[in-house]
Amino acid sequence: MKTITKATLELIREHYNKSIKSVHKRIIVCAGTGCIANGSMLVYEALEKAIKATGMELFVELELDVHDDKKKVHLNGSGCQGFCAQGPLVNILPEETMYVKVKPEDALEIIERSILKDEVIERLLYVNPVTGERSRGQLDIPFYKLQNRLVLGECGHVDPENIREYIAHNGYFAAEKVFNHMTDVDVCDTLVDSGLRGRGGGGFSTGKKWHLTRVEKSDKKYVICNGDEGDPGAFMDRSLMEGNPHRVIEGIMIAARAINANEGYVYVRLEYPLAVKRMRKAIEDAMDAGILGENIFGSGKSMHISVMEGAGAFVCGEETALMASIEGKRGMPMPKPPFPAQKGLFGKPTVINNVETLAAVPLIIRNGASWFNQYGTSTSKGTKTFALTGHVANTGLIEVPFGTTLREIVYNIGGGVTDNDGKVTGDGFKAVQIGGPSGGCLTETDIDLPLDYDNLIAKGAMVGSGGLVVMNTQTCMVQIARFFMNFTQNESCGKCVPCREGTKQMLSLLDEIIEGNGTIETIELLQEVGKCVKKASLCGLGKTAPSPVLSTIEKFNDEYLQHVLKKRCATNNCKSLRNVTIDIEKCIGCTSCARKCPVGAISGEKKQPHVINSDLCTKCGVCNSVCKFNAILGF
């Protein structure tokens, strides 16, 4: 079987660097899921066609070190570049020009002007929604320049399906180092010293987890990469697997060396087909190159990795349920102890880390523990990726050091809060939901809170996987609580009564409030049931399911009280609590609303102001849609 050495890695790196010098221009088209959904592959095809039409030599993969006078263009796709709101994205190197919202019909102009004439196409540059200024490249855009993209550093730059390009960016050198020049204790100690904590939930020390598994005596051990990212609005792990799969593989290899395992699994959600495809190709390419398999780097040790697709159950993000799924069983959690480090997959000691955690590991081995822990806070080292979504101008994937404030993320990186029409308002911030269904709300009083594990727990929230949903003042917090409770109730595996029945009752109580049937006692019972579910549930899903509800009750109690006492929703999002009336000053008696009302709730004489019978009105909104005079109030 083929075996690769450090010298071979160095030759590949040198060959790539020479090859890139023979290229006149490089065009990188974002090929992450978001940009693909917006048509980036059509842009790619159009660029390829336009390049060939000019007579320039096209490389889609650098193979040769050719030096002649003919202009050459290297065109390749990348993983997610993070700026999802502006996709499809096209970057021109070496000028570092970035074009946003590119369409296939822009391709010929890009080639003729930017590639052949070195001109910048102003209309394709990013426009700051607040200042109106245009930015030529990523370093000029606040969204990028205010981040510290360590884990995401190569996403959006390297071709995720080209192992040689990953090696050229110092890929697999950290794996070679741990297999040939470090002991298992050295590896674990380095991770402990770095301060890296698990990025998928509770934030346990990665190095300590590895040590606990390392000391277990067993003829077989496993490493599992948890890519079962199920939080609504979260796409960090998906983007890493799509954009830099070899970094994830290298992290798995280093974890295996640390605990003396020789087999690993990447557990990926079925809903992530592109991540599955690229992870599988990366594993195959690593096997063909001799990086995976037997006698890795001549060390005498072996490593094999398989990809398993999950069936889409949110509960399989919990480690014991995930292992049951890999074993071919129904994904349901098991009581702990024993912990996976003691008795995990197939009853053997197992380390489970999420994608982002493992992707940080090669950087730590390569650059040292002190390099990593210079970022972050005293108790939360390094950086964290967040999926920034909701009512914010610059939605996308970001990476910032722990300790960054919410203000910096929302207003500077995110570009500010938007209204429901997508316009930046300059104010209007109401809350963020952080940590997905397991997390909690932060409000305007928390806007300058440094985000780290401990500060968030003290506020009744958590880092979780890194979902960050921004909400404006037009958002009903009771509806938000119901959204997350509906999600977790549907995803409950049903094994334990507190979660199975408790979440169902909490959802029912929220429906009572939203439908105008709630009382003070409803809110009190909702809190009581939530605390019971939190305390008595078997696994993390149930223990954290009440968090969004309890958090919103605590921080938006007035809003709940308004729903149950005044039977009114200030944001007008709760249909049953809308007070639909007709403005007699604007109504001219055209009868359009009366003729279209499906329940006959509107009456009045022609050319006279009409009225709505609130007992009959179903608040369907038909009247509002047909009124040409904006006379309908309550929508």
Task: Quote the CA–CA distance of 228 and 238 in Å, as a whole number.
Answer: 9
Structure tokens at 86: 């502006």
Inform me whether the pLDDT recorded for 399 exceeds 90: yes
Q: What residues does CATH 3.40.50.11540 cover in the chain?
A: 163-369
Q: What residues does CATH 3.30.70.20 cover in the chain?
A: 578-633
Rounded average pLDDT over 485-507: 91
Inform me whether the pLDDT recorded for 68 exceeds 70: no
pLDDT on residue 1? 57
Inform me whether the pLDDT recorded for 236 exceeds 70: yes
Structure tokens at 239: 């983007």
Rounded average pLDDT over 12-22: 84
Rounded average pLDDT over 460-465: 82
For CA atoms 168, 171, 172, 177, the dihedral sign is positive
**C-alpha closest to that of 531 among 496, 487, 498, 483:** 498
Identity of the residue numbered 168: A
The Cβ of residue 122 has, within 10 Å, a number of other Cβ atoms equal to 9
pLDDT on residue 615? 82
Domain 163-369 bears CATH identifier 3.40.50.11540:
yes
Residue pair 343/562 in contact by the 8 Å Cβ criterion: no
For CA atoms 138, 139, 144, 149, the dihedral sign is positive
Pick the CATH number of 383-434+455-475 from 3.40.50.720, 3.10.20.600, 1.10.287.110, 3.30.310.50: 3.10.20.600
Rounded average pLDDT over 388-397: 92
Helices (H) and strands (E) in the chain, counts: 25, 20
For residue 283, give every residue at least 6 positions away whose Cβ sits within 8 Å of its Cβ, in sequence order, or none.
249, 266, 292, 305, 306, 307
**C-alpha closest to that of 492 among 530, 540, 431, 532:** 540
Task: Quote the CA–CA distance of 530 and 503 in Å, as a whole number.
Answer: 8
**C-alpha closest to that of 381 among 178, 248, 205:** 205
pLDDT on residue 73? 86
pLDDT on residue 70? 62
| Residue-wise DSSP of 391-458 | SBSS-EEEEEETT-BHHIIIIIIS--BB-TTS-B-S--EEEEEESGGGSEEEEGGGTT-B-SHHHHHH
The Cβ of residue 31 has, within 10 Å, a number of other Cβ atoms equal to 27
Architecture of 478-565 per CATH? Up-down Bundle (1.20)
**C-alpha closest to that of 253 among 262, 242, 243:** 262
**C-alpha closest to that of 451 among 384, 412, 402, 409:** 402
Assign a CATH topology to domain 578-633.
Alpha-Beta Plaits (3.30.70)
Task: Quote the CA–CA distance of 122 and 119 in Å, as a whole number.
Answer: 9
Q: What residues does CATH 3.10.20.600 cover in the chain?
A: 383-434+455-475
Task: Quote the CA–CA distance of 477 and 440 in Å, as a whole number.
Answer: 12
Work out the pLDDT band at 117, boundaries 50, 70, 90. very high
pLDDT on residue 405? 95
Inform me whether the pLDDT recorded for 235 exceeds 70: yes
**C-alpha closest to that of 331 among 533, 546, 541, 548:** 541
Task: Quote the CA–CA distance of 279 and 105 in Å, as a whole number.
Answer: 32
% of the chain residues with pLDDT over 90:
70
Task: Quote the CA–CA distance of 359 and 363 in Å, as a whole number.
Answer: 8
Structure tokens at 219: 């003829």
Rounded average pLDDT over 539-550: 88
Q: Please tell me the number of Cα atoms within 13 Å of 39 on its side-chain side.
A: 13
Question: Which is more confidently placed, 262 or 436?
Answer: 262
Residue pair 125/99 in contact by the 8 Å Cβ criterion: yes
Task: Quote the CA–CA distance of 534 and 547 in Å, as a whole number.
Answer: 8
Q: What residues does CATH 3.40.30.10 cover in the chain?
A: 11-145
Residues 147-180: tens digit of each pLDDT? 999 999 888 888 999 999 999 999 999 999 999 9
Burial zone of 337 (CB within 10 Å; 0-12 exposed, 13-18 middle, 19+ buried): exposed
pLDDT on residue 541? 83
Residues 272-284: tens digit of each pLDDT? 999 999 999 999 9
* Lookup result for tokens 């039409």: 53
For residue 256, give every residue at least 6 positions away whose Cβ sits within 8 Å of its Cβ, in sequence order, or none.
223, 262, 263, 264, 303
**C-alpha closest to that of 266 among 302, 297, 222, 216:** 222
pLDDT on residue 46? 95
Identity of the residue numbered 194: S
For residue 147, give every residue at least 6 positions away whose Cβ sits within 8 Å of its Cβ, in sequence order, or none.
398, 399, 400, 413
Task: Quote the CA–CA distance of 482 and 548 in Å, as a whole number.
Answer: 9
Q: What residues does CATH 1.20.1440.230 cover in the chain?
A: 478-565
By 3-state DSSP, what share of the chain in percent is helix, strand and coil, each rounded to 5? Answer: 45, 15, 40
Domain 11-145 bears CATH identifier 3.40.50.300:
no
Inform me whether the pLDDT recorded for 564 exceeds 90: yes
Inform me whether the pLDDT recorded for 492 exceeds 90: no
pLDDT on residue 452? 92
Q: Please tell me the number of Cα atoms within 13 Å of 99 on its side-chain side.
A: 26
Task: Quote the CA–CA distance of 542 and 538 in Å, as a whole number.
Answer: 7
pLDDT on residue 579? 81
**C-alpha closest to that of 95 among 46, 126, 139, 133:** 139
What does each C-alpha distance from 234 to 51, 277, 569 come to in angstroms? 36, 20, 28
Inform me whether the pLDDT recorded for 37 exceeds 80: yes
Task: Quote the CA–CA distance of 509 and 419 in Å, as a whole number.
Answer: 29
Rounded average pLDDT over 231-243: 88
% of the chain residues with pLDDT over 70:
98
Structure tokens at 89: 């994205």
* Strand bridging mode 57-59 / 72-78: parallel
Task: Quote the CA–CA distance of 389 and 410 in Å, as a whole number.
Answer: 10
* Strand bridging mode 90-93 / 97-99: antiparallel
Strand segments, DSSP code E, in 484-620 are 581-582, 602-603, 611-612
Q: Please tell me the number of Cα atoms within 13 Å of 84 on its side-chain side.
A: 23
Residues 577-626: tens digit of each pLDDT? 888 888 989 999 999 999 999 999 999 999 999 999 988 888 888 999 99
- Give kind and range of the element (H or E) at residue 462: none
Task: Quote the CA–CA distance of 362 and 172 in Å, as a whole number.
Answer: 8
Residues 309-338: tens digit of each pLDDT? 987 788 888 899 999 999 999 888 888 889
For residue 117, give every residue at least 6 positions away whose Cβ sits within 8 Å of its Cβ, in sequence order, or none.
none
Q: What is the chain's alpha carbon radius of gyration, rounded to the nearest angstrom?
A: 27
